[in-house]
Amino acid sequence: MSKLFEPITLGKLTLENRIVIAPMCQYSSDEGKATAWHHAHLGQLSFSGAGLLILEATAVEAAGRISAEDLGLWDDATEAAMKDLITGLRENSNMPLGLQLGHAGRKASCAAPWIGGAQIAQSAGGWQTVAPSAVAFAQGTEAPEAMSLARIDQLKKAYIETVRRADRLGFDLLELHGAHGYLLHQFLSPLSNQRTDQYGGSLENRMRLLLEIFQEIRAEFPVEKPIGVRISATDWVEGGWDLEQSIELAKALDELGCSYIHVSSGGLSPHQKIAVGPNYQVPFADGIKRYVKMPVIAVGLITEPEQAEAIIGTGQADMIALARGILYNPRWPWHAAAKLGAKVSAPKQYWRSEPHGLKGLFLPE
């Protein structure tokens, strides 16, 4: 029996297998509203046979977008567009759907990556960014506005309002984005957080905002539906956020009833020095898993079925997440099931595509 294709339960949500489609920004929205691109992009991924599909980082307020083309869920217009998208996905696939709640903080107001990804100045059509402290992301970029306590309170209300909208839309799961150098990660890291109030200084203070927001959205979202958190386990910069601090955060989240932790790394500083290679982030997931009861998701250059099977089989993580790999091969779970002697869901319209030597590969959705 393949461990990768064993079911797993998060709260009261049972996933058919341990393969998660990670949130992947598409920079293709219209003032925060989902477009035809999202219908096509997410539609094909919903046919992949993965256990869970998490939509891209979705801004809880307009100022929290990485780019002007980011997906959002902050008003009636963005909710209506999202409803059309979710309705279409549900009509054709039973795959559970999650939503990642995001705010870019000082990494907002940027161009799409295919046109360079650089920050757009306010004078050129960008907007004022916010952060824990008025520390720019990189030399030559505009400094963010340090958030007042009143602005932090406004942010919390934005998260809660987005969660209410997500619940109305019927999402099965939420993921709080605390990774990749975005706002909640900026509060965690001493490199970006130079505050002297209750949200800065000690590790306890730097973790405070993420933990408070988690508790507030947990109280708002139905108790039977899971909420997980994505973190960067390290900044890859000396003196920054690291695995030891990540373990403390994970233990605190575990105590608060977090449903899972999704372990990535980096993104906070242009000075990061990352040793990239297959499984390069898996040791962080493994290190955290030793200290928590909740399931742990590993991610990062996991490209081969046997590689994913080994991660789950050896207990380094409970699930694996695919991003660029499943963009390159949207049927990755089908091929993995074939290699590992497992079965995978597929739409009935595709059942005839089963290779002759693999009859019985597909499960009906």
Question: Among all residues, which ones are annotated catalytic?
Answer: 182
Task: Copy the structure tokens of residue 240.
Answer: 């920054």
Task: Copy the structure tokens of residue 22.
Answer: 């990670």
Grouping H, G, I as helix, E, B as strand and the rest as coil, residue 351 is helix
CA triplet 18, 93, 100: central angle to 5 degrees? 60
Q: Please, are residues 211 and 251 in contact by the beta-carbon 8 Å criterion?
A: no
Distance CA 356, CA 344 (A): 16
Which of 140, 63, 56 lies closest to 100 in space, CA to CA?
56
Q: Please, are residues 261 and 229 in contact by the beta-carbon 8 Å criterion?
A: yes
Task: Copy the structure tokens of residue 214.
Answer: 């988690």
Inter-CA distances, 99 with 175, 177, 245, Å: 6, 10, 26
What is the b/e burial string over 320-334, where b = at least 16 CB atoms within 10 angstroms of the residue's CB? bbbbebbeeebbbbb
From the CA atom positions of the chain, what is the Rg in Å? 20
Q: Please, are residues 188 and 207 in contact by the beta-carbon 8 Å criterion?
A: yes
Task: Copy the structure tokens of residue 219.
Answer: 């109280």
Whose tokens are 């990749």? That residue is 180
The Cβ-side half-sphere exposure at 131, using a 13 Å CA radius, reads: 28
Which of 148, 111, 118 lies closest to 130 in space, CA to CA?
148
Helices (H), the chain: 36-45, 76-92, 149-169, 183-188, 203-220, 243-255, 282-289, 305-313, 324-328, 332-340
